[in-house]
């Protein structure tokens, strides 16, 4: 069963008098539990596609469904609610709140969701243990290494049990050993929790570990290593 369906999606941007087609006629389905990578060179459209899946932007034409919700029919507030309740995000720059501890950063999404304090604390601590950061929960981001900060971001993305985690170049600011360890950690979390991961990346380590690789070039899908039923 697809949790994300993309049908005949185009995305066009305007820069002054120029029009740029970032995506052209994208058709894609993502199933629960996948560990997939959208790959391609700079300008291929992979980050644009990831942003559309994350309801951070809307297609110029075509349709995208997250479960049974077509995002183009949702208001700005409804899309925000969808992101809060169903989607997790991991960014290249970590995007942690500098004045909060690692524990408080992980708790933050649950705070917005209205989860009670005791449950928030328990779930956040359990997730920090899973990403091997127990003992560092009271440190602020500036007191953590890049790899540790990205592990906090992974814990934050997963703690609210989203249906899908979207990761935009999550290893770009990490050295190769730290990046490899982070990817192995995320793959293990994917296997143990069944949460879907979709990456936007050109990192060979991501491509090597992905179970499905969707390649883009000039805004179009040129290959998909996993056979999918017709949309």
Q: Is residue 27 part of a domain?
A: no
pLDDT 10s digits, 115-172: 999 999 999 999 999 999 999 999 999 999 999 999 999 999 999 889 999 999 998 8
Domain ranges, residue 214: 36-58+75-224
High-pLDDT (> 70) share of the chain, %: 98
What CATH number is given to the structural domain containing 193? 3.40.50.300
Q: Is residue 29 part of a domain?
A: no
Q: Is residue 207 part of a domain?
A: yes
Q: CB neighbours (10 Å) of residue 230?
A: 5
Q: What is the mean pLDDT of residues 53-74?
A: 96
Q: Is residue 117 part of a domain?
A: yes
Q: Is residue 209 part of a domain?
A: yes
Residue 173 pLDDT greater than 90, yes or no: no
Listed residue (192, 204, 185, 219) closest to 59, CA to CA = 219
Q: Describe the strand order of the beta sheet including 2-15 as a list of residue ranges.
A: 18-31, 2-15, 61-66, 69-70
CA–CA separation, 89 and 107 (whole Å)? 14
Q: Is residue 10 part of a domain?
A: no
Q: Is residue 44 part of a domain?
A: yes
Q: Is residue 16 part of a domain?
A: no
The pLDDT assigned to 117 comes to 95
- Number of structural domains found in the chain: 1
């Amino acid at each position: 069963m697809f949790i994300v369906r993309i049908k005949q999606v185009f995305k066009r941007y305007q820069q002054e008098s120029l029009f740029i087609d970032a995506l052209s006629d994208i058709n894609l389905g993502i199933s629960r539990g996948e560990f997939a990578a959208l790959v391609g060179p700079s300008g291929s459209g992979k980050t644009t596609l990831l942003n559309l899946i994350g309801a951070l932007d809307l297609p110029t034409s075509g349709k995208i469904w997250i479960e049974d919700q077509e995002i183009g029919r949702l208001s700005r507030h409804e899309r925000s609610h969808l992101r809060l309740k169903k989607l997790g995000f991991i960014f290249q720059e970590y995007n942690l709140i500098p004045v909060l501890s690692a524990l408080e950063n992980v708790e933050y999404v649950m705070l917005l969701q209205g989860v009670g304090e005791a449950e928030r604390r328990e779930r956040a601590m359990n997730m920090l243990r899973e990403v091997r950061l127990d003992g560092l929960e009271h440190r602020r981001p500036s007191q953590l290494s890049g790899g540790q900060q990205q592990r906090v971001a992974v814990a934050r993305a997963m703690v609210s049990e989203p249906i899908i985690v979207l990761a935009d170049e999550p290893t770009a600011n990490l050295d190769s050993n730290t990046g490899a360890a982070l990817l192995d950690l995320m793959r293990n979390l994917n296997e143990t929790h069944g949460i879907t991961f979709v990456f936007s990346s050109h990192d060979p380590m991501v491509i090597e570990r992905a179970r499905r690789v969707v390649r883009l070039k000039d805004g179009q899908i040129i290959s998909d290593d996993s056979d999918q039923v017709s949309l």
